[in-house]
């Protein structure tokens, strides 16, 4: 029998203990631990949810890595490159790459009775992965692209459609400032709403063949594109895959007159990823603060419990118990308090996270936060790390307040009782 554990259970189970100050303090300690754990769970779930949601949306718009002409300027009228099956297959077979697709860009103006709005047409081909836009499609459907047959339809965002008073199946007049100026009409085949307001307001999706026609990219010179979009299995590999592509593509297979530039979304949109890094730093600050609060409350509770049990400690020492054995008794009590706090903290934290995930209770302004509701990302690994980390740190820290037991003398302790 584990005598220390047996005594610890008896101490925590005595009915008369409920009338003591320590019972009230231990109750407060349990509540503090529960609130600390639930706050940590919610902080990690929300921050990782923010990061993954925004990263996935940006990657859905442009891929994780973009390969374009090295001579590309800062406007949306990029210098084209010729589609090269060797380059395409080399990219596709690079470790970590999930999918490769071609694209072309063309800036234009939408003209209505009362408004003129500048937009960028993004041309896509028959290799395009529509899963991202299908996820956020609110009306209609994605484009059916067939090479050799131009599709005169377009996908428009809900924010742009609302701003310009367009609806599904309406015709959109587009003007292109070039020599000579050109006018095109497109039919709205689908309306999407990703929540990335800046992107939604700027981009429309179209058949790449129409952009090739507008730009007078002669087919005799090959299949002209603005570049390749690369999607990865895991965004954590983005730096490694970028380095591989820069080594193998930009300096290995590029044509002399079409040097390729390899960039990832972290390099293209540094402001967004710097903001996400700041948010990550904030959650670490919250985790540290919550851990300190839990430790302080546990230390206070154990010290008061030891103070109230001074006479009992003296009797145990008089009966021959050593300091290490008595410390174990109070460490077991610490574990019982911590266990209750963890249970309630997990129930509260996971419960609130699930409510937000399914009911979207807390809304956000998408123009500021890029999402319409607070995103939640609950992962078993995060929950395990929070709980295990809290247990290990707290139990280790509880060793120090129990060291006061070694200073208690049996005779004085029994008189104190």
What is the DSSP track for 77-128? SPPPEE--HHHHHHHHTSTTEEEEEEEEEEEEEEE-SS-EEEEEEEEE-TT-
**Cα 317 to Cα 62, 321, 402, distances in angstroms:** 71, 5, 15
- Per residue in 284-321, pLDDT (tens digit) is 888 898 888 888 888 888 888 777 777 777 777 777 77
pLDDT of residue 372: 83
pLDDT at 22 over 70: no
Residue 220 has pLDDT above 70, yes or no: no
Average pLDDT, integer, range 136-152: 90
* Higher-pLDDT residue of 135, 371: 135
Higher pLDDT residue, 330 or 119?
Answer: 119
Residue 85 has pLDDT above 80, yes or no: yes
Q: What does the angle CA 371 – CA 377 – CA 380 come to, to the nearest 5 degrees?
A: 175
Q: Is residue 16 over pLDDT 50?
A: no
10 Å CB burial of residue 316 (0-12, 13-18, 19+) is buried
Burial of 157 (0-12, 13-18, 19+ CB in 10 A): buried
Q: pLDDT at position 14, please?
A: 47
- Binned at pLDDT 50, 70 and 90, residue 412 comes out as low
Query: Could you tell me the pTM of the whole model?
Result: 0.81
Rounded to whole angstroms, how far apart are CA atoms 91 and 68? 13
Average pLDDT over residues 43-61: 91
Length of the chain: 417
Q: How many CB atoms lie within 10 A of CB 358?
A: 9
Q: What is the pLDDT of residue 137?
A: 94
Res. 40: pLDDT tops 80: yes
If you average pLDDT over residues 167-179, what whole number do you get?
A: 89
Q: Is the pLDDT of residue 279 over 80?
A: yes
The kind and range of the H/E element at 313 are: helix 310-318
Evaluate whether 231 touches 59 at the Cβ level (below 8 Å).
yes
Write out the two tokens for 318.
Answer: 């008089």
The pLDDT assigned to 415 comes to 59
């Amino acid at each position: 029998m584990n005598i220390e554990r047996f005594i610890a259970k008896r101490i925590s189970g005595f009915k008369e203990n409920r009338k003591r100050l320590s019972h009230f303090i231990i109750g407060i300690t349990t509540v503090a631990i529960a609130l600390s754990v639930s706050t940590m769970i919610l902080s990690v779930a929300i921050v990782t949810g923010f990061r993954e949601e925004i990263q996935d949306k940006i990657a859905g718009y442009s891929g994780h890595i973009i390969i374009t002409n090295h001579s590309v300027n800062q406007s949306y009228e990029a210098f084209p490159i010729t589609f090269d099956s060797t380059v395409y297959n080399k990219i596709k077979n690079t470790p970590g790459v999930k999918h490769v697709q071609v694209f072309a860009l063309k800036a234009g103006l939408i003209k209505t009775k009362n408004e003129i709005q500048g937009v960028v047409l993004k041309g896509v081909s028959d290799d395009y992965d529509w899963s991202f836009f299908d996820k956020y499609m609110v009306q209609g459907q994605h484009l059916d692209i067939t090479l050799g047959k131009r599709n005169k339809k377009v996908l428009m965002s809900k924010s742009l459609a609302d701003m310009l008073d367009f609806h599904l199946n309406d015709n959109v007049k587009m003007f292109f400032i070039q020599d000579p100026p050109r006018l095109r009409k497109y039919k709205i085949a689908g309306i999407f709403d990703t929540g990335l307001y800046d992107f939604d307001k700027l981009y429309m999706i179209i058949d790449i063949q129409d952009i090739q026609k507008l730009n007078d990219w002669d087919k005799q010179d090959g299949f002209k594109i603005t570049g390749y979009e690369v999607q990865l299995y895991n965004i954590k590999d983005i730096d490694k895959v970028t380095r591989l592509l820069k080594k193998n593509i930009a300096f290995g297979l590029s044509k002399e007159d079409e040097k390729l530039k390899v960039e990832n979304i972290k390099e293209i949109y540094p402001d967004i990823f710097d903001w996400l890094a700041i948010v990550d730093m904030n959650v670490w600050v919250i985790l540290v603060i919550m851990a300190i609060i839990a430790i302080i409350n546990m230390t206070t509770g154990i010290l008061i419990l030891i103070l109230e049990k001074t006479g009992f400690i003296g009797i145990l020492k008089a009966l021959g118990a050593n300091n290490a054995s008595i410390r174990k008794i109070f460490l077991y009590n610490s574990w019982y308090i911590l266990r209750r706090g963890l249970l309630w903290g997990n129930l509260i934290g996971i419960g609130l996270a699930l409510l937000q995930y399914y009911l979207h209770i807390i809304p956000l302004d998408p123009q500021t936060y890029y999402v319409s509701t607070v995103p939640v990302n609950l992962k078993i690994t995060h929950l395990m790390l929070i709980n295990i980390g809290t247990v290990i740190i707290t139990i280790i820290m509880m060793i120090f307040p129990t060291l006061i037991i070694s200073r208690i003398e049996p005779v004085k302790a029994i008189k104190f009782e």
